[in-house]
Structure 1
């Protein structure tokens, strides 16, 4: 399947589960102390007053968490249903429908960005393109926090929470992701892995904090 058809399938799948996703995960950061600490570290280093982007934001709960702490948050998602839910649930966030490979943002618009489990739907050849596009939207020295499932497998779902979907979740090697980030014009400042929290799927989680150069 070509990349455009894959993205269409991802979009439709997230449209299908948007309401269920929100009901289940809206408050997930309450049980993720390490994620909250990383988000805080990111925003404290962003240029004061600059927007922080949540790329692949889903229903916007991370962007909403940032906005509740005084951050000018922008949520971008491929799924129009997710954008609609986010706009309803988190009115303090600027939501935009868009693709990681063609972000609806100006050059240097964001002081920092997060991409939490959103790069896992990209094909291997798309990862570098996405990081280059994210770099375009960041200010000089802007930080990017990326998280993903660590490994090498691809998990396919044709049913998700009782809904019919067609979507792949790609596990990624942290060392490879770090190399791709550096090739795209970032310096990786932090690498970390953790075990899953009790309420999460049983996967190992990886985080990379990278600075635009």
Structure 2
């Protein structure tokens, strides 16, 4: 399928900041106890050794955490720079370069999937296709854990840590995301919101745990 300008600019932006991003976020989960608890719950329900996809994995720190806790972890990201940074740091993770709209994965390949702050880079009209593609890659009853910023706004960056970028961050209404997931064949099992931690950007964050029906 043809790639949109949005995806080209997102890829280029993350390629540009990949090494800095990897360095800064290497131990990110150490300061996020609620995230770790939700990831632990996902793994406990999925079973040891389950193939778990980290969709929009960046430099792979979440995928590596999953691998360290018994998952067969597969990180997928649009940015070749992020994939390269992840491979250098986390040899225990299988990395694949790919788009959320066209995942490099077989039907039903994964027992579970995580998408932390990756749907924020999709245009609103792309969300349904991305969720359908995620569902395709999950086995029946497979779980998906999503995290995203809450709201209606779009924030744009043209400078990030001293690098020139061109990337939008779309905030979402949790009720709308939940409804769309249900429309494409997921059942919502958990919905949670939290305020930001002190070291995070000042946004409210939503988490959804959904199961493929």
- Judge same fold: TM > 0.5, yes or no: yes
Which residue of 2 is the match for residue 69 of structure 1? 69
1:3–1:150 CA distance, 2 compared to 1 (3 A): farther
- Tell me the TM-score normalized by structure 2: 0.98
1:129-178 per-residue CA deviation (whole Å, 9 max, x = no partner) reads 00000000001000000000000000000000110000000000000000
SS in 2 for 1:125: helix
The answer to whether the aligner puts 1:168 opposite 2:176 as a matched pair is no
Alignment partners' CA distance in 2, 1:53 and 1:8: 22
Alignment partners' CA distance in 1, 2:47 and 2:130: 23
Deviation at residue 71 of structure 1 after TM alignment? 1.2
Unpaired runs of 5+ in structure 1?
none
Alignment partners' CA distance in 2, 1:133 and 1:48: 24
Taking the TM superposition and a 5 Å limit, the aligned residue runs for 1:19-58 are 19-58=19-58
Deviation at residue 3 of structure 1 after TM alignment? 6.5
Unpaired runs of 5+ in structure 2?
none
Deviation at residue 50 of structure 1 after TM alignment? 2.4
Instruction: Report the number of matched residues.
Output: 212
SS in 2 for 1:126: helix
1:77-115 per-residue CA deviation (whole Å, 9 max, x = no partner) reads 000000000001000000000000000000000000000
Alignment partners' CA distance in 2, 1:68 and 1:210: 23
1:140–1:178 CA distance, 2 compared to 1 (3 A): same
Deviation at residue 49 of structure 1 after TM alignment? 2.8
Which residue of 2 is the match for residue 202 of structure 1? 202
1:2-27 per-residue CA deviation (whole Å, 9 max, x = no partner) reads 97110000000000000010111110
Does the 8 A contact of 2:49 with 2:70 survive in 1? no
Alignment partners' CA distance in 1, 2:102 and 2:95: 15
Q: Give me the CA root mean square deviation.
A: 1.0
Deviation at residue 68 of structure 1 after TM alignment? 1.2
1:25-84 per-residue CA deviation (whole Å, 9 max, x = no partner) reads 110100000000000000111144320000000000000111112211000000000000
Alignment partners' CA distance in 1, 2:185 and 2:138: 11
Which residue of 2 is the match for residue 86 of structure 1? 86
Alignment partners' CA distance in 1, 2:207 and 2:3: 25
